[in-house]
Amino acid sequence: MAHDGDPDTAQGDSEAETPEGESFPREYVEKIRKESRGYRDRAKTAESQRDELTTRADTAEGERDELAARLHTELVRATGILTDPTDLVFNAEHLADADKLAAAVNELIASKPHLKARKVSGDAGQGVKGGQPAEFNLLDRLKGNA
C-alpha cells in the first residue's frame, strides 16, 4: 500500500504492466498510414484548389470592378453634360438607375458649374460659306478661271 501514495512508483508500475499484445499488427499500421497519406494528399490538393479559386475570384472581382467603373464613365459621357466624365465619382447605384445618375450629374453641375460641357456656337471663320458650290468644270480649271 506504500506504493499507492508515491506517484513515481505508481507510474513505473503502469509502464511495466503494459502487455506486449496491445501493439497493432504491421499490416494494419501500414494500411492506416497509407490511408492517412491519402487523406493528407487529398487535403493538400483541396487546399491548392481553394487557393487557385480564391486567386481567380479575386482577379474576377477586380475585373468586375474595373468594368463597372468603365461602364459608369461611359454612361456619364453619354449624357453629354460633363466635360470630363470621370469628374463624377463612381457609385454602383448609378449603373442600375438612370434617374439617380442624371440627378447626381445635375447635382455636381449645380455645385461645380465649371465642369459643365461647353457648346460651341457661331463659326470661327472656317468652313464653307454661302450657298451651293459652283458646278465643277475641268476646262475652266485648266484655263485658270476657277
> Would you kindly state where each structural domain of the chain is located, as residue ranges?
26-116
Tens of pLDDT, residues 18-40:
456 578 899 999 999 999 999 99
The pLDDT score that the predictor gives to residue 13 is 46
How many residues are present in the chain?
Answer: 146
Place of cell 451651293: 132
Task: Report the candidate in 63, 60, 84 with the shortest Cα–Cα distance to residue 73.
Answer: 84
Lowest mean pLDDT among 98-107, 115-124, 128-137: 128-137
Contact 104, 91 (CB under 8 A): yes
- The one-character DSSP state at 68 is H
| Residue 105 pLDDT | 94
Global pTM value:
0.54
